[in-house]
Amino acid sequence: MARPRTSKVIVLGAGGHAQVVADILLRAHEAGSSRRPVGYLDDDPELEGSVLLGLPVLGAIGQLDEFEHDAVIVGMGDNGARADLFSRLRARAETIVSAIHPSAVVAPDVSVGQGVMICAGSVVNTGAVIGDNVILNTGCTVDHGDRIGASAHVAPGAHLGGEVTVGQGALIGIGSIVVRGCRIGEWAVIGAGSVVTKDIPCFATAVGVPARVIKRDTPER
C-alpha cells in the first residue's frame, strides 16, 4: 500500500519547547506518520535563518501565509500565549495538528483534541479526555477518566490519579502529584513537587506537601 502524501507542518515558535514539538513530529514521521515538520516561524528576528534540528527558522509568525504548508502546531510553553495563538489560528480556519511521540502510551479510547502535544514516555490511560492545545510533557501520567482542559500543561514527571479534572489553562508543575478525584481550577498553578490532596480553585497558586494555596490571581480571561 502506498504511503499517504506527506503533510507539511510549520511549528509556530522556535524556542526549546518548539524544538521538542519538532522532534516529536520528526520521530513520528520516521515511525510512519505522514506529517513532517518543514520549519519554524518565530517573532524573534535574531532566530530567522538559523537551523534547529535540521529545520530552518523561516520568518515571523505573521508571515505564515507566505510559506507553503498543510498544517500548523503551536510550539509555545506559556499557556496564555499558546491559547491566544491557537484561538487566532482556529479563527483563520488553519489545520492544527497534534504531535504524539511514538513512545507515548495512549489508550485507544482516549479523546485527544486539536493541537495536543504528548511527549516521550507519557502514559494516558483509558477514558481520559484531553482538550485542545494541551501539553502532556515528558514522562507524565494521566490516569483513567481524567479530563484535561484546553491549553493546560501537565509538566514533566507529573502524575495525575484517576478521575482528576484539570481546568483550562492550568499548569501542573514538574514532578507534582494530584490524587484521585481532585479538581484543579482554570488557570491555576501547582508548584513543582507538590502533592494535591484537595480541590484547588481557579486562578490560584498552590505549593507544598500537601499543596496549599499561597496566592490567588485576578482573572484576566
The gap from C-alpha 165 to its chain's centroid, in whole angstroms, comes to 16
Total count of residues recorded for the chain? 221
| Beta carbons of 97 and 71 less than 8 angstroms apart | yes
Query: If we measure between CA atoms, which residue out of 7, 6, 149, 151 comes closest to residue 72?
Result: 7
In angstroms, the CA 89 to CA 132 distance is: 12
In angstroms, the CA 202 to CA 112 distance is: 23
Fold of 100-207: UDP N-Acetylglucosamine Acyltransferase; domain 1 (2.160.10)
In angstroms, the CA 194 to CA 34 distance is: 39
The answer to whether the pTM exceeds 0.75 is: yes
- Please give the biggest Cα pair distance in the chain: 57
The 10s digit of each residue's pLDDT in 108-148 is 999 999 999 999 999 999 999 999 999 999 999 999 999 99
Average pLDDT, rounded, for the chain:
96
Residue 89 has pLDDT above 90, yes or no: yes
215 or 5, which is more confident: 215
- Measured at the alpha carbon of residue 109, what is the angle toward residues 116 and 95, in degrees to the nearest 5? 30
In angstroms, the CA 123 to CA 217 distance is: 31
In angstroms, the CA 191 to CA 162 distance is: 20
**Alpha-carbon torsion (213, 83, 25, 14), positive or negative:** negative
Percent of the chain scored above 90 by pLDDT?
94
Percent of the chain scored above 70 by pLDDT?
97
Domain borders along the chain are 7-97, 100-207
The pair phi, psi for residue 171, each rounded to 5°, is: -120, 120
Q: Which three three-digit cell numbers place residue 143?
A: 490516569
Q: Which three three-digit cell numbers place residue 81?
A: 500565549
The 10s digit of each residue's pLDDT in 28-69 is 999 999 999 999 999 999 999 999 999 999 999 999 999 999
Q: Over range 174-189, report the average pLDDT.
A: 98
In angstroms, the CA 182 to CA 194 distance is: 14
Question: pLDDT confidence of 179, banded at 50, 70, 90?
Answer: very high
Q: Over range 7-32, report the average pLDDT.
A: 97
Residue 1 has pLDDT above 80, yes or no: no
Question: pLDDT confidence of 221, banded at 50, 70, 90?
Answer: low
Question: pLDDT confidence of 195, banded at 50, 70, 90?
Answer: very high
Query: If we measure between CA atoms, which residue out of 160, 168, 208, 174 comes closest to residue 188?
Result: 168
| Whole-number pLDDT of residue 6 | 81
Fold of 7-97: Rossmann fold (3.40.50)
| Whole-number pLDDT of residue 219 | 67
